[in-house]
Amino acid sequence: HIPPDIPLADSVDTAGDMFFQRLGGANGAHVDGEASGGELSSEKRSEMLYALLEVVQADSSGIVARVDERGTGTYRVNFEHAATVLRDQCLDALVQEKFGSGHARFMRVLRDKQKLDEKVVSQATMLPIATCRERLHDLALAGMIDTVEIPRSADRNPSRMFYLWYVNFDKQTRSAMRFVFQGMSNVIARANKEVAARHLLIAKTKREDVIADQSLLTEAEHKELRILAKIKQRLAVANVRLDSMLLLINDISPQSADLKLLQ
C-alpha cells in the first residue's frame, strides 16, 4: 500500500536492493564490509553483485550473458532464449506426464543433436534399437517429433533412404497445444459431472429457508458440500496450471514480438 503523495522513486526497490535487504536482515548476521548502521558498504555491495552475476552467467541455461568486457562488464538477459528454455522444460514435462521419463529423454537428445537415425539415437540413449524404434514411433504419433527422408540414390527408392528423426518445433507446439486444450476440456467436463451428481443438494442450498438457516442441512450434506468445494478447488488449480502451460508453449514463444521488444 503506497501513499499517493510519496515519490515513486522512494517506493521502488531494485532486485539488488531487495537481495541486500534480505541478506542484511537474515538472523542479524554480520557481514564483513558492513558500513555503520549494519548496512553493507557500496564496495561490498558491488563486489557481491558482480560475483552473483558471474554465477548466473556461468549457468548452462545461457539466459544471462556478458556483452561488454570493459570494467566490470555489462550483462544482458536473453529473453528469447529464456522463453525457449521455459518452453522446452514445459514440453518435456508434458511428454513425461503422457509417456514417461524415457520418452522425455529421447526428446532432449533429439532437441540437442537434431536429425539422428535410429542407430545414433540408440547409442546416445544406450538402449536397444527395438526400444528406440518403439519410443520414437510413440513420439511421432503424438506429433512431438518428425522424420526427414535423405535419398541414397536419384530414384528415391524407399529401401535406399536414410530416415532421420528430429524435433519439428512448429508441429510440436501444435500437438502440445492440442494436449493442453484436451486437458482443459477434461477439467471442465469433470467439474460439470461432479456438480450434476449433486444437483439436488445444490438446489437445496439455494432455497431461501436454507440460506437463512444453515442448520436445515444435515451433517452428511455439509460434508458432501465440503467435498464438492475441495474437488472444485483442485480442478481450478489444474486449470490454472494448464493455462500456464499454454502461456509458455504458445503465448510466450521465442518468436513473440513482445519478447523482441525486450532484447
Domain edge (last residue) among 167, 195, 217: 167
Within a domain: residue 126? yes
Within a domain: residue 1? no
User: pLDDT tens digit string along 177-221?
Assistant: 999 999 999 999 999 999 999 999 999 999 998 889 888 889 999
Give the residue among 131, 135, 129, 82 at the shortest CA–CA distance from 108: 135
Sorted by sequence, the CB contacts under 8 Å of residue 64 that are 6+ apart come out as 53, 56, 57, 75, 76, 77, 78
pLDDT value of residue 240: 92
Same domain for 126 and 52:
no
Within a domain: residue 235? yes
Overall pTM surpassing 0.75 (yes/no): no
More confident residue, 234 or 29: 234
Same domain for 205 and 182:
yes
pLDDT value of residue 193: 95
Same domain for 128 and 71:
no
User: pLDDT tens digit string along 106-156?
Assistant: 999 998 888 888 888 888 888 898 999 899 999 999 999 898 888 777 777
Within a domain: residue 214? yes
Within a domain: residue 2? no
255 within 8 A of 231, measured Cβ to Cβ: no
Same domain for 187 and 160:
no
Same domain for 158 and 90:
yes
pLDDT of 14 above 70: no
Domain edge (last residue) among 61, 77, 93: 77
Domain of 188 in residue numbering reads as: 172-253
How far is CA 160 from its chain centroid?
41
111 within 8 A of 99, measured Cβ to Cβ: no
Domain edge (last residue) among 135, 167, 199: 167
Sorted by sequence, the CB contacts under 8 Å of residue 88 that are 6+ apart come out as 111
Within a domain: residue 29? yes
Same domain for 97 and 37:
no
User: pLDDT tens digit string along 46-99?
Assistant: 778 778 877 777 777 777 877 776 666 677 888 888 888 888 888 999 999 889
* Domain total in the chain: 3
CATH number assigned to the domain comprising residue 116 = 1.10.10.10
Within a domain: residue 261? no
The burial of 247, by beta-carbon neighbours within 10 Å (0-12 exposed, 13-18 middle, 19 or more buried), is given as middle
C-alpha cell at 175: 500437438
The burial of 114, by beta-carbon neighbours within 10 Å (0-12 exposed, 13-18 middle, 19 or more buried), is given as exposed
